[in-house]
Structure 1
Amino acid sequence: MTTEAMATLCLSGELTNKLEAIARAGFDGVEIFVDDLQSSGLSPRAVGDRCRQLGLTVVALQPFRDVEALPPELQRTMLDEARRHLDTLADLGGDFLLACSSTREEAEDDIDRAVDTLSDLAELAAERNLRVGYEALAWGRHVFDYRDAWETVRQADHPALSIVLDSYHILAQELELETLATIPGDRIGLVQLADSPWPRGQELQSLSRHWRAFPGDGELPIERFMTALERTGYQGPLSLEIFSDSLGVMPTGMAALQGKHALESLLASRT
């Protein structure tokens, strides 16, 4: 049975209220947004305990930014920061860290360097019996296409490293989905779902930060994305990740319920 999850960043309010709303709406899991955790004043262990009390699995801690193809000094800094994130993840009781492609000017356009840095990051995770997922941001400096992210993950070939697929980053760029359908399902660590208005020349980062929508409430071809995903054999979590100004002012419980309804409707349409 697929784990249905929601990222805490989707909702307004304090972290504990978000967790309670996500659980009441009927979700199985939650992605913990680092900013929510830091602003809560709670320890990661306390947050993890609350998730378990509510019956929620921590499916991811996110985001860990700017990870690949960095110069040696910046790579050392990145790995030091990764250790802290991984320790936080362990305290939460989760096992999956979501890492995003780099937006830094210092990042090199060099897949061999990207493979090396991601391998080092994955090894840190493996030492703790944790995992890392790599996501291509649509505004990444060099890696902004899921196909490039997948090639990096494939070449790294580390058991603790997988790819994260986000429907927004893929569909808003109108990327082909034939390659997605060929990715082995067990190499996909997490799938995030979001809709949005059709970009129509809008800057993708701004659109993503303010106008994402629940599946079916926008104009992106989510059904085509799901068809390609089904061909991979993926059996992992499906998580809503919706940055939205409108959700930010909506009552927390109402937004969580709307998200669950949207996800259930999407899944029902696939049967």
Structure 2
Amino acid sequence: MTTEAMATLCLSGELMNKLEAIARAGFDGVEIFVDDLQSSGLSSRTVGDRCRELGLTVAALQPFRDVEALPPELHRKILDEAKRHFDTLAELGGDFLLACSNTREEAAHDHGRAAETLHELAELAAAREMRIGFEALAWGRHLFDYRDAWKIVRQADHPALSIVLDSYHILARELELETLATIPGDRIGLVQLADSPWPRGQDLQALSRHRRAFPGDGELPIDAFMTALERTGYAGPLSLEIFSDTLDVMPTGMAALQGKRALESLRSPKS
């Protein structure tokens, strides 16, 4: 059975309250947002223990930002940062780190170097019996298209590396879904779901940061995304990742329940 997860960033309040609300709503997984963990003042081990008490699998630690095709000095810093993230992930009891495409000016437009970076990161993950997933942000400096991310993941060619697919980053750019449908399901590490108002003509990063919505509450063709995803044979976690000013002021438990209903409605057979 597919894990249904929610990212802690979806909800208002303190981290422990978020975890409890996610569990009460009936989710069985959680993405731990690094900012939530850091601001909580709690140790990763304490948070991981609480997840296990609540019956929540740590589906991912995220985000690991600006990873690929950097100059040598910055590249070394990225590798060091990855090791710290894997230490945190081990204490949380998870095994999946979500890495995002680069937004920095220093990043090179070089798919070969990007693939080399991801291969190195995957080696670090594999040495710890962990995995890493790569996601193309819609506002990435050079990598903003899931099709390019998939090419680079294939070029990196490492069993500990997979692609992460986020409905917002794909649909907000109005990218075709036929390619998505051809990706083998076992090469997809995580699927994140979010809706939004129709994005054409808007700043995609600002829209993503403030006005994402639960699936079905916006104007993106989420059903088409899910149809293409089904063709891949993907059986991994489906996770809600909703940055929203509205959810920031909504009671934590209410928002978690709304998210669960939205995910269940999305997954229900259409008449």
What TM-score does the superposition give when structure 1 sets the normalisation length?
Answer: 0.99
Deviation at 1:114, TM superposition (A): 0.3
Would you say 1:191 and 2:191 are equivalent positions?
A: yes
Would you say 1:75 and 2:70 are equivalent positions?
A: no
- What 5-or-longer segments of structure 2 have no aligned partner? none
How many equivalent pairs are there? Answer: 271
> What does residue 21 of structure 1 align with?
21
CA contact (8 A) 2:147 2:179 kept: yes
CA distance in 1, matches of 2:52, 2:250: 26
CA distance in 2, matches of 1:200, 1:76: 38
The amino acid across from 1:238 in the alignment is L
> What does residue 102 of structure 1 align with?
102
> What does residue 170 of structure 1 align with?
170
Cα offsets for 1:95-115 (capped at 9, x unmatched): 000000000101000011001
Deviation at 1:65, TM superposition (A): 0.2
Would you say 1:257 and 2:257 are equivalent positions?
A: yes
CA contact (8 A) 2:172 2:200 kept: no
The amino acid across from 1:124 in the alignment is L
- What 5-or-longer segments of structure 1 have no aligned partner? none
What TM-score does the superposition give when structure 2 sets the normalisation length?
Answer: 0.99
Alignment of 1:90-129 (within 5 A): 90-129=90-129
Deviation at 1:200, TM superposition (A): 3.0
CA distance in 2, matches of 1:64, 1:101: 9
Corresponding residue SS for 1:155: helix
Deviation at 1:72, TM superposition (A): 1.1
**Sequence identity (%):** 84
CA distance in 2, matches of 1:58, 1:18: 13
Deviation at 1:225, TM superposition (A): 0.1
> What does residue 3 of structure 1 align with?
3
Cα offsets for 1:108-147 (capped at 9, x unmatched): 0001100100100110111100000000000000000000
CA contact (8 A) 2:8 2:30 kept: yes
Cα offsets for 1:229-253 (capped at 9, x unmatched): 0000000000000000000000000
Corresponding residue SS for 2:189: strand
Deviation at 1:71, TM superposition (A): 1.1
Corresponding residue SS for 1:17: helix
Q: Which runs of 4+ in 1 moved over 3 A?
A: none
